[in-house]
Chain A
Amino acid sequence: MTQIPEDLKYTEDDEWVRVEGDTATIGITDYAQDQLSDIVYVEHPDVGAAFDQGEIFGVVESVKAAGDMHMPVGGEVVEVNEALEDEPEVVNSDPYGAGWFIKIKIADPAELDKLLDAAAYKAHCDARA
């Protein structure tokens, strides 16, 4: 069963966002890690880099596929999960926890309104099953 935590926001490109104040933590969903299968590589942006909503900020690769990661909301990167460089498989085992990708400072909180909630994202996944 695909895990879709209620307290997160989602994109149609399968990123999740956890908002805490003006900071957002971003990762890829359980559905995405399952589709990619064994993840072998994660490419992070530089800390300090700024991206607009929807812009590509990184890459996640499995043996057979590569996916671009898009910014769910615009902002500046304040931290990247360097542990993934040595253990990218954590994205498979714990996509919503230790498998997070980056933390950003949100530029415009209004952009959060364009994201999907858990129910809408679940419908999006079901539609592709």
Chain B
Amino acid sequence: MTYLPHTDADREAMLAAIGVEDAADLFEAIPEAVRFPALDLPGALAELETMTELQHLSKANISADDFAWFLGAGVYNHYIPSVVNHILLRGEFYTAYTPYQPEVSQGTLQAVFEYQTMIAALTGMEVSNASHYDGATSLAEAVVTALQVAKHKRRKVILSPGVHPQYREVVRTYMQGADLDITGDKDPTHTLDDLTARLDEQTALLVVQSPNFFGQIEDINGLADKAHAAGALLCVVADPIALGLFKPPGAYGADIVVGEGQPLGIPMSFGGPYLGFFATRKAYVRHIAGRLVGETVDVEGRRGYVLTLATREQHIRRERASSNICTNQGLMALAATVYLATMGKRGLRQVAELCYHKSHHAAQQIAALDGYSVDRSKPFFKEFVVKCPKPAAEINRYLVEEWGIVGGYDLGALDPARADEMLLCVTEVNTHEEIAALVVALSEVAS
């Protein structure tokens, strides 16, 4: 069998040592009526055949290897330096478990410590945890943290309608047993002022996203003061690439900063696995979920790293734990760490600047086309909303079939009234030629 090493002689010897004749005898405890069911699955394939089958399925998808890419909406086609994947393929990293035994896990532990440092630096916060599943679950954990900081006496959370719609859905899924008032995002026209007007003594958390789901940079200056005046915390959902260019939420007084870490060296991979980053103030560290790595020394005085403050966690506190989370997204946090080390202080800024210039160039060109307009009511980073002369779905079909271009996110999927709008994303990987082709294609489809 595929990955099983035993020879017949091994089996015989082992069964003899156990004192049974047949391996089937080991399963007597299982009710006979349900023991050894048939499994209706395809027959085993050799490695070569397995690979052929998977390649076949892989080729049935349209990928960013072959198409020009302008689709973002929370998941981004950024360049991943070769170094990242080579480090991820080190078996010592990817075949290890959570670093419960620090003496044989210093590689993972130190990498996570470096990750925590980089995320704290990027977000402008004091501490970062070792990561969550993705941006959406990081936000749900931010809500849990805020409720804990308020000792569960505040029962209201205000969400900006500019927060990624799936993140808002996940917050509601997580909180369905908690009897909370989750408000603010039902009306898509709500401004930040409309949101701050809802702050009151029941509010635990105010959440805004910047750049928001529509790519716009929100004016979060002063927001923290308003939240704090009501006794609430402010959480900002951020794009980690944008943090290379724009002032971080920490500089505006945010209490929690979360976001999707996928842009940091992680492939789009049809929605996962990704990485949710989570940074906050040191004062709240005992109220946060997820793993934390801390520095210490060993018995010989050597610097080393351990999982710390573990008493918040499920394996010790059981039903009184701050979360049921067992692990972080270890390997994805490693990818982000290697990515940020590779880009470095200047490289991340360059990526962000390229995103900014290319997206603004594309926006300018598209805005000049007959029948198209671009929403420039607020500054944007790498995404912008285009109003089109035809339904976005129809335009996207044309772009794929005639031009080899995967177009923007169809906003009609969120709101049928916006079927003529798309959210276009331009990153450092889009060349001048691709942008030019997109502009020509949009012009043609309109006429």
- Check whether chain A touches chain B (CB < 8 angstroms): yes
Question: A67: nearest residue on chain B (CB-CB)?
Answer: B311
- A61 contacts B by Cβ under 8 Å: yes
Cα-based distance from A80 to B310 in the complex (angstroms) = 25
| Mask: chain A, 21-47; 1 = CB below 8 Å from B; 0 = not | 000000000000000000001010000
Q: Which residues of B contact A63 (CB under 8 A)?
A: 310-311
Q: Which residues of B contact A43 (CB under 8 A)?
A: 286
- B317 contacts A by Cβ under 8 Å: yes
Give chain A nearest CB distance to B306 CB in angstroms: 9
A interface residues, tally (CB under 8 Å): 9
Q: Which residues of A contact B320 (CB under 8 A)?
A: 66, 68
Cα-based distance from A41 to B312 in the complex (angstroms) = 11
B286 near A41 with CB under 8 A, answer yes
- A65 contacts B by Cβ under 8 Å: yes
Question: B313: nearest residue on chain A (CB-CB)?
Answer: A66
A65 near B286 with CB under 8 A, answer no
- A64 contacts B by Cβ under 8 Å: yes
Within B295-317, the residues touching A (CB, 8 Å) are: 310-312, 316-317
A64 near B316 with CB under 8 A, answer yes
Question: B317: nearest residue on chain A (CB-CB)?
Answer: A66
B316 near A66 with CB under 8 A, answer yes
Q: Which residues of A contact B317 (CB under 8 A)?
A: 66
Cα-based distance from A65 to B315 in the complex (angstroms) = 10
Give chain B nearest CB distance to A55 CB in angstroms: 14
Question: A43: nearest residue on chain B (CB-CB)?
Answer: B286
Give chain A nearest CB distance to B252 CB in angstroms: 29
Give chain B nearest CB distance to A38 CB in angstroms: 12
* Nearest 6 pairs of A and B residues by beta carbon: A66-B311, A61-B311, A66-B317, A66-B316, A65-B316, A65-B311
Q: Which residues of B contact A61 (CB under 8 A)?
A: 311
| Mask: chain B, 308-342; 1 = CB below 8 Å from A; 0 = not | 00111000110010000000000000000000000
Q: Which residues of B contact A41 (CB under 8 A)?
A: 286, 311
Question: B320: nearest residue on chain A (CB-CB)?
Answer: A68
Question: A61: nearest residue on chain B (CB-CB)?
Answer: B311
Cα-based distance from A63 to B320 in the complex (angstroms) = 16
Cα-based distance from A62 to B308 in the complex (angstroms) = 11
Q: Which residues of A contact B310 (CB under 8 A)?
A: 63-64
Q: List 18 A-B contacts (CB under 8 A).
A: A41-B286, A41-B311, A43-B286, A61-B311, A62-B311, A63-B310, A63-B311, A64-B310, A64-B311, A64-B316, A65-B311, A65-B316, A66-B311, A66-B312, A66-B316, A66-B317, A66-B320, A68-B320
Give chain B nearest CB distance to A63 CB in angstroms: 8
